[in-house]
């Protein structure tokens, strides 16, 4: 995996010689936050300026959505390089134009059957995408060099991208609910997949879930609470401790904003990755 194409300001290309201490320090820098099923990238663009030295990656299965986020990040990088200050409106316009260019015509984006997402969901997503483009306002300045996105099926390929204990935070925000009982196995939090999330998450690292579907919240809480690698952190404890990302996780994604607009409820469940037990 050549990460330099994603984070050129932080990671030199593999071919370039590393001669100084600072160069080798940047060469060892790795992605630490992963937003799984990042959608339109609201969390990434909210967190990037808050943690300018932390590399963060969105993983998204839909091609056109990934292209949108990629264009959004590229536009933000350019804007920050070109303009000393930009108000939300201007930025949103530039992002829109870049997106149009990168994503091409608003054509078909066939969903892989493995995602288990219906045609109605896709149509609904397109309507939301149009609405989000209108609503998006990038409020915080920053260079956005520390954020990127990749098109991937995280349920299949997560350990191909991250090493053991690499991540300090992993987010599952408003994941697809897969309401029908027969579809529950397609949910992104399952006992089997939790073993993979535990593998890539560093002991002490935090897994965040947020949803507006109570049944899915109960499902995620149940599976996470039973898993030996995770311990529950009460939401109030995190908020009282001033956890800098939980509020963003609840409010800054496009799905989270939509729930707010509709005055819906949200449930958060956060779990700390426990230390592995000593080998027998």
Q: Which residues are catalytic?
A: 176
CB of 238 to ligand SAM, least distance (A): 18
Q: What order do you get walking across the sheet with 31-36 strand by strand? A: 147-151, 55-60, 31-36, 167-173, 201-211, 267-273, 230-233
Tell me how far, at minimum, the Cβ of 275 lies from ligand SAM, in Å: 28
Q: Which is nearer to ligand SAM, 80 or 133 (CB)?
A: 133
Closer Cβ to ligand SAM, 40 or 271, answer by number: 40
Q: Give CA 102 to chain center in angstroms.
A: 20
C-alpha 162/C-alpha 99 separation (Å) is 28
Residues found near ligand SAM in the complex (CB under 6 A): 37-39, 42, 59-62, 65, 115, 153-155, 173-176, 253-256
Give the CA-trace dihedral at 124, 43, 177, 246, to 10 degrees. -140
3-state SS class at 276: coil
- Shortest gap between Cβ of 157 and ligand SAM (angstroms)? 8
Closest to 170 (Cα-Cα) out of 32, 51, 29, 43:
32
> Residue 37 CB, nearest distance to ligand SAM (Å)?
2
Write the CA distances from 95 to 7, 89, 208, integer angstroms: 19, 10, 28
Based on CB atoms, which residue is closest to ligand SAM, 142 or 256?
256
> CB of residue 147 vs ligand SAM: minimum separation in angstroms?
14
Instruction: Rank residues 32 and 129 by Cβ distance to ligand SAM and give the closer one.
Output: 129
Report the C-alpha gap between 214 and 256 in whole angstroms.
14
Nearer to ligand SAM, 70 or 176 (CB): 176
Could you tell me the CA-to-CA distances from 165 to 3, 33, 37, 169, 196 in Å, in that order? Answer: 18, 12, 20, 10, 11
How far, in Å, are 22, 59, 71, 109, 149 from residue 41 at the CA level?
A: 30, 9, 11, 18, 8
Nearer to ligand SAM among residue 3 and residue 174 (C-beta): 174
Smallest gap from residue 156 Cβ to ligand SAM (A): 7
Query: Given the structure tokens 């991208």, which residue do they identify?
Result: 161
CA-to-CA distance for 98 and 94, rounded, in angstroms? 6
């Amino acid at each position: 995996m050549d990460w330099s194409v994603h984070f050129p300001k932080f990671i030199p290309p593999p071919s370039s010689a590393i001669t100084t201490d600072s160069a080798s320090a940047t060469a060892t820098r790795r992605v630490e936050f992963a937003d799984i099923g990042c959608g339109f990238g609201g969390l990434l663009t909210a967190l990037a300026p808050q943690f300018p030295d932390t590399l963060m990656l969105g993983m998204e299965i839909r091609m056109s959505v990934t292209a949108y986020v990629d264009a959004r990040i590229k536009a933000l990088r350019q804007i920050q390089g070109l303009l000393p200050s930009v108000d939300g409106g201007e930025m949103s316009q530039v992002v829109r134009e870049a997106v149009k260019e990168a994503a091409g015509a608003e054509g078909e984006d066939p969903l892989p059957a493995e995602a288990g997402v219906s045609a109605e969901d896709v149509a609904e997503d397109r309507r939301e995408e149009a609405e989000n483009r209108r609503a998006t306002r990038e409020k915080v300045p920053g260079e956005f060099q520390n954020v990127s996105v990749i098109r991937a099926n995280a349920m299949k390929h997560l350990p191909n991208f991250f090493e053991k204990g690499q991540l300090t935070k992993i987010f599952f925000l408003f994941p697809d609910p897969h309401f029908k009982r027969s579809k529950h196995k397609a949910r992104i939090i399952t006992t089997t997949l939790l073993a993979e999330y535990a593998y890539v998450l560093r002991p002490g690292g935090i897994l965040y879930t947020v949803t507006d579907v109570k049944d899915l919240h109960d499902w995620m809480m149940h599976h996470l609470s039973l898993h030996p690698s995770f311990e529950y952190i009460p939401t109030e404890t995190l908020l009282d401790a001033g956890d800098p990302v939980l509020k963003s996780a609840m409010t800054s994604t496009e799905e989270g904003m939509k729930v707010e607009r509709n005055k819906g409820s949200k449930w958060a469940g956060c779990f700390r990755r426990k230390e592995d037990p000593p080998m027998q």
